[in-house]
Amino acid sequence: MRRLLSSVLMLVVLALAPAATAADFIPAIVFDMGGKFDKSFNQMAYEGAEAWRKENGITYREFEVTSPVQREQALRQLARRGAAVVVAIGFSQGPAVATVAKEFPAIKFTVIDAIVDAPNVQSVVMREHEGSFLVGMLAAMASKTGRVGFVGGMDIPLIRKFAAGYRQGALYANPKIEVLENMTGTTPEAWNDPTRGAELAKAQFGRGVDVIYAAAGGTGLGVYQAAKDAGKLAIGVDSNQNYVQPGTMLTSMVKRIDKVVAEAFSSARNGTWQPGTRDLGLAADAVGWALDEYNRPLITPAMEAAVQQATGDIVSGRITVSETCGNSACTH
């Protein structure tokens, strides 16, 4: 009787085990801290993955990292379960991808916002400074006080790139503009502290700023709320955040992470996926600024024309936007 029972159990177990074969194409994505509903960076990646799923009818595996120690674990787990390609979102996943990619040389990895030099890793970086240049111009043209602000999330070179581009754009549109900069913090918690974001925004408003660009993930939501409460303007980041506070959001610096994610999935599927570094900017339409029904009333035709002119000039190389400003003010 016992033997019968155990063999029946065995059969049940076998029947329930997923019939995973190499023919199944299952892509995977690892979101970073902030979560896939941060209304910003991770959410954009999520939307890209969702759109791809609906289009192709293929589900993907996902993991939301909630503490830094989970990154390697998540990547390893997905690689072990035979993901066709693992897309890792966020600069802070770089070291984890480097480690895990070495352990699984047959698995493809795409990392966004970090550069990992390995034969099975595709690194996608974007020219945030170019997109930030454009919204910097808009901020300077919309400002009545001649002072614009920037609130960054974690103080890292990537966010400095946003700040540098913004400063250059603002100075390009108005050489007399004053740009105030704040960083929320130096730890990953800086991406998720809206209270602090609101306080930094209020401090800048108190010093005469009337447009703030926040590149700070979830912290930015506090900045936008503070801008709305004070009747000032704010600029969103990564995804089109114009809808978050209509009438307050001057525009958003859009980073088309959704496109990158979908491209990574599709290219891995049809065999065109290539390792190496992809550096995508305005020319590739990977960054830009958002104009929709929510911010239409705030953008004058003159502003739109000036930004379009500058877009062309950056693409053609007539304007070069530097990635860093150092401690001296960027001039243009």
Partner 1 sequence: METATQILLLIAAAIRLATPLLLAALAGIYAERSGVIDLSLEGKMLAGAFAGAALASVSGNVWVGALAAMATGILLSLLHGFATVTHRGNQVVAGMAINIAMAGLIPTVAQAIFALGGQTPQLGPAQRFLGLVLPFADGDGLVAQTYARLLSGHNALTWLAFLAVPATGWLLYRTGWGLRLRAVGENPYAVDTAGLPVARLRYQALVVNGALAGLAGAYLSMAANAGFSRDMTAGKGYLAIAALIFGRWAPVPTMLACLLFAFADAVQAQLQTVRILPSQFVGALPYILTVLVLALVGKGGGMPKALGIPYIKERGV
Which residues make up the interface to partner 1 (CB under 8 A)? 35-38, 149, 155, 180-183, 185-186, 189, 192-196, 198-200, 202-204, 206-207, 218, 221-222, 225, 229, 244, 327
| Burial environment of residue 228 by CB neighbours within 10 A (0 to 12, 13 to 18, 19 or more) | middle
Report the residue number, 61 or 202, with the smaller CB distance to partner 1: 202
Selection from 137, 141, 132, 124 nearest residue 160 by Cα: 132
Report the residue number, 127 or 167, with the smaller CB distance to partner 1: 167
| CA torsion through residues 128, 94, 72, 22, sign | positive
Report the residue number, 90 or 149, with the smaller CB distance to partner 1: 149
Nearest distance, CB of residue 217 and partner 1, angstroms = 10
Q: Which two tokens stand for residue 277?
A: 């570094």
Report the residue number, 129 or 196, with the smaller CB distance to partner 1: 196
The identity of residue 90, as a single letter, is G
Q: Which residues contact 89 (CB under 8 A, 6 or more apart)?
A: 29, 30, 31, 32, 41, 42, 45, 112, 113, 257, 261
Nearest distance, CB of residue 181 and partner 1, angstroms = 6
Nearest distance, CB of residue 74 and partner 1, angstroms = 17
Nearest distance, CB of residue 22 and partner 1, angstroms = 33
Report the residue number, 181 or 313, with the smaller CB distance to partner 1: 181
d(CA 109, CA 268): 10
Nearest distance, CB of residue 187 and partner 1, angstroms = 9
Report the residue number, 310 or 325, with the smaller CB distance to partner 1: 325
d(CA 28, CA 96): 15
Q: Which two tokens stand for residue 252?
A: 């958003």
Are 257 and 89 a contacting pair, CB within 8 Å? yes
Nearest distance, CB of residue 146 and partner 1, angstroms = 15
The identity of residue 166, as a single letter, is Y
Report the residue number, 180 or 315, with the smaller CB distance to partner 1: 180
Nearest distance, CB of residue 228 and partner 1, angstroms = 8
d(CA 253, CA 238): 6
Are 74 and 33 a contacting pair, CB within 8 Å? no
